[in-house]
Homo-oligomer: A and B are copies of this chain.
Amino acid sequence: MDKIWRVNMAELSVKSEPVPAAWAGLGGRGLTSTIVAAEVPPTCHPLGPKNKLVFAPGLLTGTVAANSGRLSAGAKSPLTGGIKESNVGGTAGQMLAKLGVKAIIIERLPKDESKWYGISLNKDGMRIEEETETVGKGNFETVQVLNGRVTKRVGVIVLGPAGEMKMLTSNISVKDPESHIRSLGRGGLGAVMGSKKVKFIAVDASGATGMPLADPEKFKAASKTWADALMAHPVSGQGLKTYGTNILVNILNEAGGLPTHNFSAGQYVDHDKISGEFMYDTIVKRGGKPSHSCHPGCLIQCSQVYNDKEGNYLTSGMEYETVWALGANGGLTDLDQIAEADNIMDDLGMDSIETTVMFCVAMEGGLLPWGDGVEVLRILKDEIAKGTPMGRLFGGGSEVVGRACGVRRVPIVKHQSIPAYDPRSVKGIGITYATTTMGADHTSGYTIATNILGCGGHVDPLKKDGQIDLSRNLQIATASVDSTGMCVFVAFAVLDSADCFQALLDLINARYGINLTGDDVVGLGKYVLKTEHQFNLDAGMTNKDDRLPEFFELERVPPHNAIWDFTPEEIDSFWNF
């Protein structure tokens, strides 16, 4: 029987509870958002005793279904001030699911905030103990310590130094199959874990029983259809596997939607120095891996292992958004510098979107020269990692830096940085940025799929027509997918193949012995969005928070001379469902 584990940091106690009936059909984002909405007062301080940090594997996490290994975390975000869900691959989610953990809820604050704690979970139960050895240590070292202390196969949810310092750029990380780092990236959830004084959760699934399947045969058949469909689609089966997400540099540059020089242009003259194609060649030449699974069972393999000039590991899981921000948006031209920054952010436990977009705002604010990769690396290593006053400023993210420097062109929605797609030239994603409950977040409703990649039809990126419906449909679908434990990159195949979508339903139905229909999945997505939206309204947000920054309405962006021209009423119609 699955269980809910509660960790009370004020009492330093743990207990397990049966799963309430209302939560039984939920997983991943659907469950974390439900729990946060039910148990966290929306107006509470995100770093105070009333916030809760919730971890939940998806509905299919732990099964052998391809790409189903996601783990969600939820809380009130110290960055956005609203509800937050962030999800990740790695190995811990699958292990939690195998141990029958429906969710972990970390509550309250320790009475003595000078101490740190580690949480351990295995088939015999959960323990919480004071932790000293890994405090202050980077994520890579902490993972190695736990590999030695528990077992090499231990799953790890870990807080880096940025999270220990409660920086708004901090994330929560997990160990991948090679003991490298994947991240629950956005919304400053590391600061919440830091406020709870939890350095890590170590998960040892040794001896766990297999995942129960209500209809193993049906599951097996659906699983094959599902895997075949993912591999048959050109984006998930070829593009992402070969070039990773960084395939998008040249695609967005071609589309004129690659934000450049802090969102003042849409094309980057040096795009070929940072492109996915260049990155692939570099990786191959240096003996790295162009394709790499962030969790067992991932077929898409958008991750990679990027080596330095000497052929030694430099980073992995380097995303388009990271490369874009430091490259096009910040003016760096040396992919090795970007890779080193990516590795440092992995080690410190920093959101590589919030952090890199922040560097561009800092460049605009005059804190460092445009394109100065040496200074970017120095700031990461000598200022942020050490928590100097300057490091604290940079660790605060784009809004903090923008406010401190009097910068007008600060690309944020709900206090969170806008990622790698210009909303004036790719208007659908602008609707997603504006309306998602998460603060600016492309993954919440990835209209790039349809606006740019032609998946699920085509909606002209430069026109307003159809964008609100597109974003709404994708946000609803994504909220469901985020609840299944599936990687968001399954969406390309799901959008283009009815069989693939049916296979996803069959997987869930075969796992639980239920009869979900497509309408049920849509209903789940709507429920998740409305639950999250209500939390945000109760926290004090209004429709004024569903807006892009003013500069998108005032400054036309080349090459299309595009402008953000949705009316407030048009944007607000997003919520008509």
A residues whose Cβ falls under 8 Å from a Cβ of B: 43-45, 47-50, 78, 165-168, 191, 194-195, 365-367, 383, 387-390, 392-396, 400, 403-406, 408, 539-540, 542, 544-545, 547, 549-551, 554
Query: What are 5 A-B interface contacts by the 8 Å CB criterion?
Result: A47-B406, A167-B406, A390-B393, A392-B404, A540-B542
B550 engages A45 (CB within 8 Å)? yes
B45 engages A551 (CB within 8 Å)? yes
Q: Which residues of B contact A400 (CB under 8 A)?
A: 396, 400, 403-404
Known: A48-B551, A550-B45. A396 touches B392 (CB 8 A): no
A105 to B314, CA, bound (A): 56
Copies of this chain, complex-wide, total: 2
A228 to B530, CA, bound (A): 63
Closest Cβ–Cβ distance, residue A438 to chain B (whole Å): 18
Q: Which residues of B contact A554 (CB under 8 A)?
A: 48-49
Nearest 5 Cβ contacts at the A-B interface: A166-B406, A540-B544, A393-B393, A396-B404, A389-B390
B406 engages A165 (CB within 8 Å)? yes
Which of chain B's residues has its CB closest to A390's CB? B389
A392 engages B408 (CB within 8 Å)? no
Other CB < 8 Å A-B pairs besides A78-B406, A395-B404, 7 of them? A45-B408, A191-B406, A389-B390, A390-B390, A393-B404, A396-B403, A400-B403
A544 to B536, CA, bound (A): 11
Q: Which residues of B contact A194 (CB under 8 A)?
A: 406
Closest Cβ–Cβ distance, residue A458 to chain B (whole Å): 33
Q: Which residues of B contact A78 (CB under 8 A)?
A: 403, 406
Closest Cβ–Cβ distance, residue A41 to chain B (whole Å): 9
B549 engages A539 (CB within 8 Å)? no
Closest Cβ–Cβ distance, residue A413 to chain B (whole Å): 13
B550 engages A545 (CB within 8 Å)? no
A394 to B388, CA, bound (A): 13
Closest Cβ–Cβ distance, residue A389 to chain B (whole Å): 4
A539 engages B544 (CB within 8 Å)? yes
A465 to B194, CA, bound (A): 40
Which of chain B's residues has its CB closest to A389's CB? B390
Q: Which residues of B contact A404 (CB under 8 A)?
A: 167-168, 392-393, 395-396, 400
Closest Cβ–Cβ distance, residue A401 to chain B (whole Å): 8
Closest Cβ–Cβ distance, residue A297 to chain B (whole Å): 36
A167 to B407, CA, bound (A): 10
Which of chain B's residues has its CB closest to A47's CB? B408
Q: Which residues of B contact A383 (CB under 8 A)?
A: 389
Q: Which residues of B contact A551 (CB under 8 A)?
A: 45, 48
Q: Which residues of B contact A365 (CB under 8 A)?
A: 392
A549 to B166, CA, bound (A): 18
A53 to B405, CA, bound (A): 20
Q: Which residues of B contact A47 (CB under 8 A)?
A: 406, 408
A43 to B549, CA, bound (A): 10
Q: Which residues of B contact A408 (CB under 8 A)?
A: 45, 47-48, 195
Closest Cβ–Cβ distance, residue A140 to chain B (whole Å): 23
Q: Which residues of B contact A48 (CB under 8 A)?
A: 408, 550-551, 554
Closest Cβ–Cβ distance, residue A69 to chain B (whole Å): 31
Closest Cβ–Cβ distance, residue A78 to chain B (whole Å): 8
B43 engages A544 (CB within 8 Å)? yes
Closest Cβ–Cβ distance, residue A6 to chain B (whole Å): 21
Known: A542-B540, A550-B45. A166 touches B405 (CB 8 A): yes
Q: Which residues of B contact A542 (CB under 8 A)?
A: 540, 542
Q: Which residues of B contact A191 (CB under 8 A)?
A: 406
Closest Cβ–Cβ distance, residue A164 to chain B (whole Å): 9
- Chain B CB count within 10 A is highest, among A49, A367, A390, for A390
- Chain B CB count within 10 A is highest, among A388, A392, A400, A406, for A406
A526 to B78, CA, bound (A): 36
A45 to B402, CA, bound (A): 12
- Chain B CB count within 10 A is highest, among A165, A366, A387, A550, for A550
Closest Cβ–Cβ distance, residue A370 to chain B (whole Å): 16
- Chain B CB count within 10 A is highest, among A44, A393, A545, A549, for A393
Q: Which residues of B contact A393 (CB under 8 A)?
A: 389-390, 392-393, 404
A365 to B365, CA, bound (A): 24
Q: Which residues of B contact A395 (CB under 8 A)?
A: 404
A326 to B498, CA, bound (A): 67
Q: Which residues of B contact A389 (CB under 8 A)?
A: 367, 383, 389-390, 393-394
A550 engages B166 (CB within 8 Å)? no
A400 to B396, CA, bound (A): 8
Q: Which residues of B contact A394 (CB under 8 A)?
A: 389
Closest Cβ–Cβ distance, residue A376 to chain B (whole Å): 13
Q: Which residues of B contact A549 (CB under 8 A)?
A: 45
- Chain B CB count within 10 A is highest, among A43, A389, A408, for A389
Q: Which residues of B contact A544 (CB under 8 A)?
A: 43, 539-540
Closest Cβ–Cβ distance, residue A197 to chain B (whole Å): 12
Q: Which residues of B contact A550 (CB under 8 A)?
A: 43-45, 48, 50
A416 to B549, CA, bound (A): 22
A545 to B544, CA, bound (A): 14
Q: Which residues of B contact A43 (CB under 8 A)?
A: 544, 547, 550
Which of chain B's residues has its CB closest to A406's CB? B166
A549 to B194, CA, bound (A): 20
A23 to B390, CA, bound (A): 47
Closest Cβ–Cβ distance, residue A181 to chain B (whole Å): 22
